[in-house]
Amino acid sequence: MENETTETRGRILEAAAVVFAEHGYAATTIRMICGRAQVNLAAVNYHFGNKERLYREVLLYARSCAYDRYPPTYGLADGAAPEQRLHAFIRSFLLRTSCDERNLGFGTLVMRELVEPTTALDMLIDEGIRIMFGQLVDIVRPLLGEQVEEELVLACARSIISQCLFYLFSRPVIRRMAPEQKFNHEDVEMITGQIMFFSMHALNGISESRCRRERPHA
């Protein structure tokens, strides 16, 4: 065959991503997935072995879809300044984890994995989260000025990434408290601006205060 994966296998994968994202691993039944994918109940077992292995493949599949669409350098020209790179990082992060259907629920899946870790979390950390956080650290470091302690860089990176995660985790709350927010693309631009606004003021403030301390008599 030309296509390396069966059509059935692909249909299961797409359906499973949506259902797992919507209901979580435990509450998702194989029957739900097969019903949505319009395939036989035993197909999951045939193609993936069992529910858990299907879940792991779904995580990888959704991640690759989301990252292919929105890499951390999304919309960024080569040789961009650190501030622009931070902007692109935040924006692509939000887009990647938004509930756009074509992300296959990637954001929600990871979020669920954080709250109810399975063995798949180690996989996500080792092959994704660690790298992603490292990229952020490399972006933040030059923004803090020269010779800044690594621990401070890490703390600032955490403060920034936490603001991005907030719009992932608090989506249900915001949807209830402010239903007019839709988290569509315009909202993402606005939220990116707010996070940038707050964070750049913080980083600049920190950078300046360290300069003053460094050269107090200047």
Considering only 198, 211, 212, 214, the residue that binds its own copies (CB under 8 A) is 198
31 lines the binding site for its own copies (CB under 8 A): no
156 lines the binding site for DNA (CB under 7 A): no
CB of 193 to its own copies, least distance (A): 9
47 lines the binding site for DNA (CB under 7 A): yes
52 lines the binding site for DNA (CB under 7 A): yes
How far apart are alpha carbons 182 and 59 in whole angstroms?
25
HSE on the CB side for 145, CA within 13 Å?
Answer: 16
158 lines the binding site for its own copies (CB under 8 A): yes
112 lines the binding site for its own copies (CB under 8 A): yes
Count of residues binding its own copies (CB under 8 A)? Answer: 41
CB crowding 44-82: b at 16 or more within 10 Å, else e: beebbeebeebbebbbebbbebbbebbebeeebeeeeee
166 lines the binding site for its own copies (CB under 8 A): yes
Tokens read off for 95: 């887009």
CB crowding 7-38: b at 16 or more within 10 Å, else e: ebbebbbbbbbbbbbeeebeebebebbbeebe
Tell me the CA distances in angstroms from 87 to 81, 84, 191, 217, one per residue in order.
10, 5, 11, 34
Selection from 167, 150, 38 nearest residue 94 by Cα: 167
116 lines the binding site for DNA (CB under 7 A): no
Residue 112 touches which of DNA, its own copies, none (CB < 5 to 8 A by kind)?
Answer: its own copies
CB of 202 to DNA, least distance (A): 45
Contacts with its own copies by CB under 8 A lie at: 24, 26-27, 111-112, 114-117, 121-122, 125, 129-130, 155-156, 158-159, 161-163, 165-166, 169-170, 172-173, 176-177, 194-195, 197-199, 201-206, 209
Contacts with DNA by CB under 7 A lie at: 6-9, 28-31, 39-47, 49-52
